[in-house]
Amino acid sequence: MTDASPAPPTVEARDVEKVYADGASAVAAVRGVSLVLRRGEMVAVVGPSGSGKSTFLSCLAGLERPTSGSVRVLGHDLATAGARTLALLRRERIGFVFQAYNLVSSLTAQENVELPLRLAGGRTSARSAASAALAQVGLLEQADRRPAELSGGQQQRVAIARALAVRPDVVFADEPTGALDTASGSGVLHLLRGLAEEGGSVLLVTHDVVGAATADRVLVLRDGSAVAELRAPIPELVLAALDGARQTS
Amino acid sequence: MTALLRLGYAELRAGLTVWLGVLAVSATAGLATGLAVSPVVTATDTPGVAALALYGLSGTTLAFTAVAVGITVASVAELTLALLRRRLALWLLAGVTPAQTSAVALGQLVVVALVGAAAGAGLAVVAAPWLVGLAIEDVAGLAGVRVHLGEVGAAVAAAAVVVLATISGVRPARRAGRIVGADPRRDAGTERTAMGKGRWALAIATVAALAAVAVGARGADDPETAVLLVAPLAATALVALAPTFAADGVRRWTGLVARQPAATWLLARAQTGELLRRSSGPLGPLVTVVALGGGIPAAHVAAGEAAGSRQPDASGASGLLLLLALPLFVTLVGSATAVVMSDRERTTDAAVALSVGATRAQVVTAALAHVLIVVVSATAVGLLAVAATCATAAWAFGPGSAVAGAPTALASVGVAAALCAVVQAAALLPAVARATRQRRHDDAPPPPQG
């Protein structure tokens, strides 16, 4: 896959493979996929169920170690980076948004958003930064509520606020709108798009065709391999690419 | 019916950590109750003065053990159903009726408690001649007495534990089967433990008994026994009233520690508060350890001072050992088990913390901070029972005796609190290590699960 944008890369993945071995059998979830993600760019990864898109994102985010290939995030080779380096990256320069929100159930929305900032030692600035992030997602008035007291859409917006509060260089989002209604999902995508427009990078895994079309590029996976890349996509083209991938998988 | 039995069995397997905790606590309770009952059983077929000595020894031992077993079994039963409430909420979504859900949940608790209690009481049959015999061999009038428990004694001990577990589980089981709103899973996440009529009745009765014992200690035929009874009665009242103050109390004092807390303190504080909001079970056994561990020695020293004795006598030490050992054994096992049972939620929170940049050291520090918060909170509450003991000793024997007992009380509380902290940390750290362990060839934390 080639790339003509002059902006510096934040994520560089070369020939990433991930094989899960279980005794005598082995399953290749990702087969030699490459991707370069640049500053100010939002890239969506789509594909049929089982195409390896979530595994690919996990490899790029450092949540899974590829079987082969290389991944560099913000200049760090994930294969050689130590545990402390990875923790610092996750804390200060990378944001994660998961389909299951993954908020700490015993913390309030405010405290969940403050968490990475406090882990970084920024106690005095954590509160104000978290409040600003919650205001950005429209949840400042729910700051003292716990996750169980919020709707699914509100919980996902808290998760995004937590990702945004650290002003990350790159956000990895795995099906962030999967459990949300159309309106809430649209709001989440708008926030992610806003991050890219402010100079950050967003890698989004989604099965939502309309959501994918908000990205600058769309990478289509099938059976662990990249089969197409769309630039400045519209929903109809994304849908056609997905249908093509489904029919031949 | 078959479907419900299958569901109950499947859930026992799925929630294995929690149910193994119930098994461990009920086995420990069965063992301790059996050992405490063995002097009574032995006395029934022992002639003369020895029988009287056995009855005298067994009375307070049984009372203290009963309190410790009661608090621990009740706490763990409540904690069990609180931890399983979200899973039980899924049964409601699947169409199981509230009554069926409550019945199956309570049935699981009773079955597991029965198996554990029977195993523990069976072990007591074997262990009583050796353990209790060793404890009383230096007691005057009991040399050569062969302690035994027998099948009937073991059955009574096991039955007592099962009855306790059943009574303690009725209310939480009924709550587990209650649909509060449209989404039972959501309500299970916001459910809070509360004072029910049974709890209020127990608290009022215990406070009344405490007042009667304390006031009547002066001029009583056996003032030492009256003073000894203050600590377990006060512990029972405090544990019964725990839902009214535990969660808020922890929130308030931990909020005083730092205006801008570190992330590890924030996590530990929030997790402890949330756990206590859902169940005061984690606190009960620890409060009992501190109350009995500090109150019993304080009462013994105060009584000895009042009697003018300067050297501890062997029979007093042996009796004290039996009085302390069984309750402390039960409550320490209960507190450690409560920690292990809460493992799953701690693991999930640890994974989330790691995913947002916590280091392993920070996750471990948060876990140790949780232990500190729980132990300090339990010690503060248990100290109230110890203070009540010292106050009653001052009333019964005079201020001098109470003052004599105070250093022993404080030292004993310190030892009890340290023991609690060590046991809790030992139970907690393996789970934390598991949650943060490196996967093969991979430094990344396991992805958080929904």
Please give the pLDDT value at position A68. 92
Q: Do A226 and A33 contact (CB within 8 A), yes or no?
A: yes
Instruction: Report angle CA B265, B267, B271 to the nearest 5 degrees.
Output: 120
Same domain, B200 and B182: no
CB B168, CB B78: distance < 8 Å = yes
User: Is B359 within 8 Å of chain A by CB?
Assistant: yes
Say if B353 is an interface residue toward chain A (CB within 8 Å).
yes
B266's CB contacts (< 8 A; 6+ apart) are A107, A111, A114, A115, A118
Total number of domains constituting chain B: 2
Contact A98 B189 (CB under 8 A): no
Please indicate, yes or no, whether residues B182 and B154 belong to a single structural domain of this protein.
Answer: yes
Domain range holding B58? Answer: 1-186
- Cβ–Cβ contact B441 with A under 8 A: yes
B450 lies in a domain? no
Kindly tell me the burial class for residue B307, based on how many C-beta atoms sit within 10 Å of its own C-beta (0-12, 13-18, 19 or more). exposed
Helices (H) and strands (E) in chain B, counts: 16, 0
Q: E strands of chain A, at which residues? A: 9-22, 25-38, 42-46, 68-73, 76-77, 94-98, 170-174, 201-205, 217-222, 225-231
The ipTM estimated for the assembled molecules is: 0.70
The answer to whether residues B161 and B216 belong to one domain is no
Here the tokens at position A20 are 């899960």
**Residue among A58, A84, A91 minimizing CB distance to B356:** A91
> How distant is the Cα of B431 from the closest Cα of chain A, in angstroms?
18
Look at residue B449 and tell me if it is in a domain: no
Check B345 against A91: CB less than 8 A apart.
no
CB contact under 8 A, B266 and A111: yes
Domain match, B236 and B174 both:
no
Q: What percentage of chain B has pLDDT greater than the value 70?
A: 89
End-to-end CA distance of chain B: 31
Among A86, A88, A91, select the one facing B444 at the smallest CB separation: A86
User: Span B201-211, mean pLDDT?
Assistant: 93
In a domain, B341, yes or no: yes
Contact: B266, A118; criterion CB under 8 Å: yes
Residues B348 and B222 in one domain: yes
Q: Is the domain of B172 the same as that of B206?
A: no
List chain A pLDDT tens, one digit each, 249 residues. 445 556 779 999 999 999 988 667 788 899 999 999 999 999 999 998 889 999 999 899 888 889 999 999 999 999 888 877 887 888 788 888 877 767 888 889 999 999 888 888 776 788 899 999 999 888 999 999 988 889 888 888 899 899 888 888 999 999 888 777 888 788 888 888 988 998 899 999 998 888 899 999 999 999 999 998 999 888 888 888 888 877 765
B177 plus B247 within the same structural domain: no
Same domain, B366 and B256: yes
pTM (predicted TM-score)? 0.78
> Does residue B158 share a domain with residue B237?
no
Residue A213 phi/psi, 5° resolution? -70, -10
B220 and B148 inside one domain:
no
Is residue B361, in this structure, part of any structural domain at all?
A: yes
What is d(CA A195, CA A97) in angstroms, rounded to the nearest whole number?
13
> Token pair for residue B210?
């405490």
A119 touches chain B (CB under 8 A): yes
CA distances from B27 to B81, B124, B323, B337 (A): 19, 10, 19, 12
pLDDT digits (tens, 9 = 90+) for B17-65: 889 999 999 999 999 999 999 989 998 888 888 888 888 778 778 888 8
Q: Which residue has the higher pLDDT, B188 or B366?
A: B366
Cβ atoms < 10 Å from Cβ of B117: 33
Give the list of residues 6+ apart from residue A123 with CB closer than 8 angstroms, or none. Answer: B260, B261, B262
Domain boundary among B168, B186, B204: B186
The last residue of a domain, from among B186, B206, B227 = B186
Contact by Cβ (8 Å): A211, A52: no
Cα four-point dihedral sign A179, A175, A38, A65: positive
Residue B147 has pLDDT above 80, yes or no: yes
A and B: number of Cβ contacts within 8 A: 108
Contact status, residue B426 vs residue B336, Cβ threshold 8 Å: yes
* Nearest-neighbour CA in chain B from A116: distance (Å): 6
Asked if residue B335 and residue B263 are part of one domain, the reply reads: yes
Q: Which whole number is the average pLDDT over B261-278?
A: 87
Over 60: is that where the pLDDT of B185 sits? no
Name the minimum distance, in Å, from the CA of B282 to any CA of chain A: 16
Amino acid at A238: V
Closest residue in B to A160 (Cα) is B356
| B347: enclosing H helix or E strand | helix B343-355
Last residue of a domain, one of B138, B168, B186: B186
Nearest-CA distance A6 → chain B (Å): 30
- Per-residue pLDDT, averaged over B267-279, amounts to 87
- Hey, how many other C-beta atoms are within 10 angstroms of the C-beta on B6? 10
Q: Evaluate whether residue B25 is within a structural domain.
A: yes
One domain for residues B11 and B113: yes
Residue B95 contacts residue B6 (beta carbons within 8 Å): no
Look at residue B309 in the predicted model and tell me its pLDDT: 56
* Nearest chain B CA: its distance from A237 CA (Å): 32
